[in-house]
């Protein structure tokens, strides 16, 4: 504030005004300590400004008649704060919000604004908090009652990650452990042309071949064999046989084949002791001298111990049980799973040793851990099977070195998994001569990947009971649509009937090629007329009751003919695609569902 000349006032009044201003200023400073500190810091921010204020205060003390430019020139009654030390903060540290560096201060003392005087400095290494869904692994910056990705309620959990983590990361650990394995190249790695990379390489001998029926089924799913330096993740429900599958695979690789000699394979388990693994191997009649067992959960220890063996392949059971010492959190959390997978990936790429990982799954069937886990690995395999069925299906949902359409079929026995030579046999029941038993049975031809399956569909229509629907192995919406078409377009009175549908051996039909067989099975049970056991059905049903062609019709018809079927009902529009095939079978082309009923049941 500005005060005009007071020379015209009496001396006593001058001194009284001077004391009043000083008293007012001291009271204000005592009421607001942060305000006082800010003013003091601002006053000391520049040596030149500070010297001018002191000179003005000295003149005012001796001459009250001087124009008062600012009442802040007076020294406070409290003891002034100490000068900040030069090394109190790092000079290259970025200022906080609301702070700035004084340009003309050689010591770069910070000047805090009045509004940020009470701001607390964020401590180094403070944890970063994120919210992760336990079902799908989606990450968000705040808590949600319902996961935005999978819409599950109550699955979002708090996850704290240290901002500055001591120790080595996954890539650094694998780099350090593998450095002594490989010969050092002068100048490091350089880009190479495609011709140089493939020069002298035989693609048929490049992959690790798997012998036997079991090995052929696994090699089919992998795209022709095990690729050196690949990282493969195998998931599945608890008890489905993941450990059994990889233990048998380890035994096949260690025994060698016509293309390669026997080589060491190391099976590392973080869930079982080596005695327990040995007991299972003895039960499965596995006795390979080059199969080595190890029980550990420390990635650094695993990579260090296997160095002396130079293995042909490494198997880790499971990725949720191993950990890295330099990563915060226990084994199985998001950071541990991510960093351990990254370490094993770099190990596989640098040493050209294939690594197989077993992954646990959540209730929804997805592999536990971050979603990026499936993006890091080269291939993701799922081992599926019904709880009360001995058959197992090995599918590929991701494969960088082959097709994802392949499917392996196995049967669980006392000696482990055995390959099924003819998968269609597991989906067909014994053919009885009694026509009453055959009522409600129809055969469909399904293609899963590159495999063709002939499966049996069962239907039961109970008239006079409550009109309920119970479906197993067929999508509910698809089954209800077929039933509605039969009532509307074929004239069947199914309104007051209880209808039950079932697919033999727990197989799930996901394509539309089984629509015609489902309709035929329902009609057979409702009309109480058996379908001849040598008839198969292929086709999709539209809402108007018309039959539509499906993909790979020639492959389906050939598979039916090889199994000895004499007749096959297909859509009329698909007859041209199989006209050139030399088949010992009668092809019945139909346009509508009603036409199929007239041909089969009259």
The most confident of 168-182, 396-410, 517-531, 570-584, by mean pLDDT: 517-531
> Residue 589's pLDDT band (boundaries 50, 70, 90)?
very high
Is the model's pLDDT at 76 over the cut of 50?
A: no
490-537 per-position pLDDT tens digit: 999 888 889 999 998 778 898 999 999 999 999 999 998 989 888 999
Q: What percentage of the chain has pLDDT greater than the value 70?
A: 71
309-320 per-position pLDDT tens digit: 989 999 999 899
Q: What percentage of the chain has pLDDT greater than the value 90?
A: 36
Q: Which two tokens stand for residue 572?
A: 């009329």
Q: Which two tokens stand for residue 313?
A: 């392949």
Q: Which two tokens stand for residue 254?
A: 């260690």
4-62 per-position pLDDT tens digit: 555 555 555 556 655 665 555 555 545 445 444 544 554 454 455 456 555 655 554 55
Range name among 15-24, 68-77, 245-254, 306-315 with the lowest pLDDT average: 68-77
Domains of the chain, residue spans: 11-80+95-116, 127-162, 170-179+207-421, 426-601
The strand pair at 469-472 and 497-503 is best described as parallel
429-444 residues labelled b (16+ CB within 10 A) or e (exposed) = eeeeeeeeebbbbbbb
The helix or strand, by DSSP H or E, that contains position 395, with its residue range, turns out to be: strand 391-399
Structural contact between residues 371 and 384, judged by C-beta atoms closer than 8 angstroms: no
Round to whole Å and give the CA distance between 482 and 545: 9
Cα 552 versus chain centre, distance: 32
421-463 per-position pLDDT tens digit: 877 777 666 554 444 456 899 999 998 877 888 899 999 998 8
The fold adopted by the segment(s) 170-179+207-421 is Rossmann fold (3.40.50)
- 76 versus 370: the higher-pLDDT residue is 370
Range name among 210-219, 359-368, 406-415 with the lowest pLDDT average: 359-368
Is the model's pLDDT at 82 over the cut of 70?
A: no
> Residue 95's pLDDT band (boundaries 50, 70, 90)?
very low
Structural contact between residues 115 and 98, judged by C-beta atoms closer than 8 angstroms: yes
537-561 per-position pLDDT tens digit: 999 999 999 999 999 999 899 988 8
Range name among 83-92, 386-395, 413-422, 441-450 with the lowest pLDDT average: 83-92
Cα 17 versus chain centre, distance: 77
Residue 535: strand, helix, or coil: strand
CA distances from 423 to 67, 207, 217, 426, 505 (A): 105, 26, 12, 6, 11
CATH for 426-601? 3.30.230.10
pTM: 0.63
Round to whole Å and give the CA distance between 153 and 144: 9
**Residue 239, phi-psi category: left (phi > 0), alpha (psi -120 to 50), beta (remainder):** left
140-193 per-position pLDDT tens digit: 778 888 888 888 888 888 776 544 444 556 656 656 656 655 555 545 678 888
Task: Tell me 567's DSSP state.
Answer: E
């Amino acid at each position: 504030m500005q005060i005009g000349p007071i020379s015209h006032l009496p001396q006593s009044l001058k001194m009284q005004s001077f004391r009043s201003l000083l008293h007012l200023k001291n009271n204000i400073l005592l009421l607001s300590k942060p305000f006082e500190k800010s003013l003091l810091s601002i006053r000391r921010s520049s040596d030149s400004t500070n010297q001018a204020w002191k000179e003005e205060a000295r003149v005012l003390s001796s001459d009250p008649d001087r124009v008062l430019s600012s009442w802040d020139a007076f020294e406070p009654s409290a003891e002034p704060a100490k000068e900040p030390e030069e090394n109190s903060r790092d000079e290259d540290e970025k200022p906080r919000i609301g702070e700035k560096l004084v340009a003309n201060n050689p010591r770069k003392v910070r000047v805090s604004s009045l509004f940020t005087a009470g701001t607390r400095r964020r401590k180094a290494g403070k944890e970063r908090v994120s919210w992760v869904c336990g079902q799908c692994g989606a990450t968000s910056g705040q808590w949600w009652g319902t996961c935005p990705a999978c819409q599950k309620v109550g699955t979002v959990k708090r996850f704290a990650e240290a901002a500055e983590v001591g120790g080595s990361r996954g890539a650094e650990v694998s780099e350090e452990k593998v450095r002594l394995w490989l010969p050092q190249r002068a100048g490091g790695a350089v880009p190479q042309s495609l011709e140089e990379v493939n020069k002298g390489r035989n693609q048929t001998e490049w992959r690790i071949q798997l012998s036997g029926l079991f090995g052929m089924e696994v090699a089919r799913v992998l795209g022709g064999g095990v690729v050196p330096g690949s990282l493969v993740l195998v998931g599945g429900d608890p008890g489905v046989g993941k450990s059994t599958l990889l233990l048998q695979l380890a035994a096949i690789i260690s025994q060698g084949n016509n293309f390669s000699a026997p080589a060491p394979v190391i099976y590392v388990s973080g869930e079982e002791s080596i005695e327990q693994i040995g007991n299972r191997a003895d039960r499965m009649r596995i006795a390979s001298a080059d199969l080595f067992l190890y029980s550990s959960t420390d990635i650094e220890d695993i990579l260090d111990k296997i160095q002396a063996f130079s293995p042909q392949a490494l198997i880790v059971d499971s990725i949720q049980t191993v950990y890295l010492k330099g990563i915060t959190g226990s084994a199985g959390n998001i950071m541990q799973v991510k960093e351990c997978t990254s370490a094993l990936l770099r190990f596989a790429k640098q040493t050209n040793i294939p690594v197989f990982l077993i992954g646990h799954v959540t209730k929804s069937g997805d592999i536990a851990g971050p979603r990026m886990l499936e993006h890091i690995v080269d291939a993701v395999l799922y081992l599926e099977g019904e709880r009360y069925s001995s058959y197992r299906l090995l599918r590929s949902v991701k494969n960088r070195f082959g097709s994802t359409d392949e499917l392996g079929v196995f049967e669980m026995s006392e000696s482990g998994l055995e390959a099924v030579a003819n998968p269609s046999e597991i989906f067909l029941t014994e053919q009885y001569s009694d026509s009453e038993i055959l009522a409600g049975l129809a055969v469909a031809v399904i293609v899963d990947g590159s495999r063709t399956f002939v499966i049996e569909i069962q239907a039961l229509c109970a008239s006079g009971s409550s009109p309920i629907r119970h479906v197993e192995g067929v999508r509910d919406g698809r089954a209800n649509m077929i039933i509605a078409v039969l009532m509307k377009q074929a004239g069947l009175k199914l309104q007051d009937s209880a209808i039950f549908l079932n697919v033999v051996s727990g197989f799930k039909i996901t394509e539309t090629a089984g629509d015609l067989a489902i309709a035929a099975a329902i009609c057979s049970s409702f009309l109480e007329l058996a379908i001849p056991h040598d008839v198969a059905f292929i086709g999709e049903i539209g809402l108007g009751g018309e039959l539509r062609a499906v993909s790979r019709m020639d492959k389906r018809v050939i598979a039916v003919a090889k199994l000895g079927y004499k007749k096959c009902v297909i859509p009329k529009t698909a007859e041209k695609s199989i006209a050139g095939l030399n088949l010992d079978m009668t092809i019945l082309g139909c346009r509508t569902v009603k036409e199929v009923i007239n041909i089969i049941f009259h």
